[in-house]
């Protein structure tokens, strides 16, 4: 995930995605402990994405002007339609 797409999102969206990735990391760690090594690349990428998100969130906490600009950009951007997840 690119930094620019993360910066275009609102802080609330970043926090929600960060928690989703945190749960995904838990599942990937569990899979790797069971011997499925194909999750290693996904695990590394997810860790990097979450670190980027947390960095942007922290940056906005420290500089309120950036947080306000991000909120304005998120307000101008139309809401995305999300697909419903299918249960397996």
**pLDDT tens-digit profile of 8-54?**
888 899 999 999 999 999 998 888 888 877 778 888 999 999 999 99
| pLDDT attached to residue 82 | 59
For residue 32, give its domain range.
Answer: 3-76
- Beta-carbon contacts of 40 under 8 Å, excluding residues fewer than 6 positions away, are 32
| pLDDT attached to residue 86 | 58
| pLDDT attached to residue 39 | 76
What's 1's DSSP letter?
Answer: -
In a domain, 85, yes or no: no
Our count of domains for the chain comes to 1
In a domain, 31, yes or no: yes
Residue 85 has pLDDT above 60, yes or no: no
pTM of the model: 0.71
In a domain, 19, yes or no: yes
- Beta-carbon contacts of 8 under 8 Å, excluding residues fewer than 6 positions away, are 70, 73, 74, 77
| pLDDT attached to residue 88 | 44
* Four-point Cα dihedral 1, 55, 79, 68, nearest 10: -140
In a domain, 87, yes or no: no
In a domain, 36, yes or no: yes
């Amino acid at each position: 995930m690119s930094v620019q797409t993360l910066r275009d999102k609102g802080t609330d969206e970043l926090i929600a995605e960060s928690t989703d990735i945190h749960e995904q990391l838990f599942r990937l760690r569990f899979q790797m402990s069971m011997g499925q090594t194909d999750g290693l690349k996904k695990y590394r990428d997810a860790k990097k994405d979450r670190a980027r998100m947390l960095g942007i969130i922290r940056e906005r906490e420290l500089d309120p002007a950036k947080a306000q600009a991000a909120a304005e950009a998120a307000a101008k951007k139309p809401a995305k339609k999300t697909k419903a997840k299918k249960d397996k």
